[in-house]
Amino acid sequence: MRDYVIECHNLETAYAASLNRPILNGINCQIERGEFVVLLGLNGAGKSTLLRSLVGLVPLVRGEIQINSVTLTPRTLAAIRRDVGMLFQGGGLIRQLSAMENVLCGRLGAKTSWQTLFGFPKRDRLLALELLEQLGLREFADQKTSQLSGGQQQRVAIARALIQSPQILLADEPITGLDVIACQQVMQTLSELHTQHGMTIVAVLHDLGIAAEYAQRAIVVDAGRIVYDGPCDNLQAQFSQV
Ligand SMILES: Nc1ncnc2c1ncn2[C@@H]1O[C@H](COP(=O)(O)OP(=O)(O)OP(=O)(O)O)[C@@H](O)[C@H]1O
Ligand SMILES: [Mg+2]
């Protein structure tokens, strides 16, 4: 039997401001443990909406999401979020906080509100430092993220997503706006998490060449529907602009 970690059944979602305008129109997909999948599509196709839906950030109008065979509901949401790390489009860092503090924010979901009153234990701080070290950012730990370059900020965002040791990483445009070197570093980091730690990765990319280099499978979204789900080979021939 296949070990699916993400399952979407007839997913239909709409934003609260416009509930009569569904953004995702009947998404069906299953992602197995340990897969590296790229999500492709034009601007506004619904890629970010799909990733956000998987962690309960967009209301479901119809359909069902299962993460590790658990149906996403208000009751299961907190536990599911502990298994799923999210790298938001644009990083989503708090600019006034240091790199270290931003990474520690990734632990907030694992704590009760009263626990957060006591600050973060030494164990969490050491883990945050270790992650920053691994991502080549140890020397920037105490620097405000507003003073870091785009590539450095992106790596802080990765560290923040990783501090909860997620089984699944959803990365929304992790390399957009980065130079060639930073782009390679970030993709290499994702690739190592996949190959060495068996992490399931779903990454939104816009570059078909990079998609084919790192991922085995591509899902192409257009106007809230999946229009392709298959191997990355020949993507270039099929979709010249995604
Ligand atoms: N918070 C929101 N409230 C209402 N509508 C939204 C919201 N966020 C996105 N949308 C709409 O949902 C649609 C899909 O947006 P989404 O951000 O998922 O696209 P995307 O595929 O990630 O595009 P991009 O490549 O530009 O990041 C768009 O029409 C957008 O206007
Ligand atoms: Mg997006």
| CATH number where 154 lies | 3.40.50.300
Least confident of 29-33, 135-139, 171-175, 236-240: 236-240
The mean pLDDT of 34-43, rounded to a whole number, is 96
Position 241 pLDDT exceeds 60: no
pLDDT band at 233 (very low <50, low <70, confident <90, very high): confident
pLDDT per residue as tens digits for the range 44-55: 999 999 999 999
Position 78 pLDDT exceeds 80: yes
Which domain does 187 fall in, by range?
4-238
What pLDDT, on the 0 to 100 scale, is given for residue 89? Answer: 83
Rounded distance from Cα 78 to ligand 2 centre (Å): 23
What pLDDT, on the 0 to 100 scale, is given for residue 172? Answer: 95
What residues contact 233, with CB distance under 8 A and at least 6 apart?
A: 212
Are 209 and 239 in contact, with CB atoms under 8 Å apart?
A: no
Contacts 24+ apart (CB under 8 A), 11-17: 11/50, 11/53, 11/60, 11/62, 11/63, 11/64, 11/65, 12/60, 12/61, 12/62, 12/63, 13/49, 13/53, 13/58, 13/59, 13/60, 13/61, 14/58, 14/59, 14/61, 15/49, 15/58, 15/59, 16/59
Q: How many domains is the chain built from?
A: 1
Rounded distance from Cα 50 to ligand 1 centre (Å): 10
What pLDDT, on the 0 to 100 scale, is given for residue 229? Answer: 95
Distance (Å, whole) CA 93 – CA 150:
11
* Pocket flag, ligand 1, residue 107 (CB < 6 Å): no
Which ligand is nearest the CA of 222, by number?
1
Position 194 pLDDT exceeds 90: yes
Nearest atom (ligand 1) to Cα of 52:
18
pLDDT per residue as tens digits for the range 9-21: 999 999 988 878 8
* Pocket flag, ligand 1, residue 17 (CB < 6 Å): yes
pLDDT above 90 as % of the chain: 69
65 phi, psi to nearest 5 deg? -120, 135
The rounded mean pLDDT for the chain is: 90
Position 62 pLDDT exceeds 80: yes
The mean pLDDT of 166-185, rounded to a whole number, is 90
* Pocket flag, ligand 1, residue 224 (CB < 6 Å): no
Instruction: Specify the DSSP element, H or E, that contains 84.
Output: strand 84-87
Distance (Å, whole) CA 43 – CA 139:
36
Rounded distance from Cα 154 to ligand 2 centre (Å): 15
Distance (Å, whole) CA 218 – CA 232:
5
Distance (Å, whole) CA 148 – CA 170:
23
The mean pLDDT of 120-142, rounded to a whole number, is 91
The amino acid present at 167, given as its one-letter code, is Q
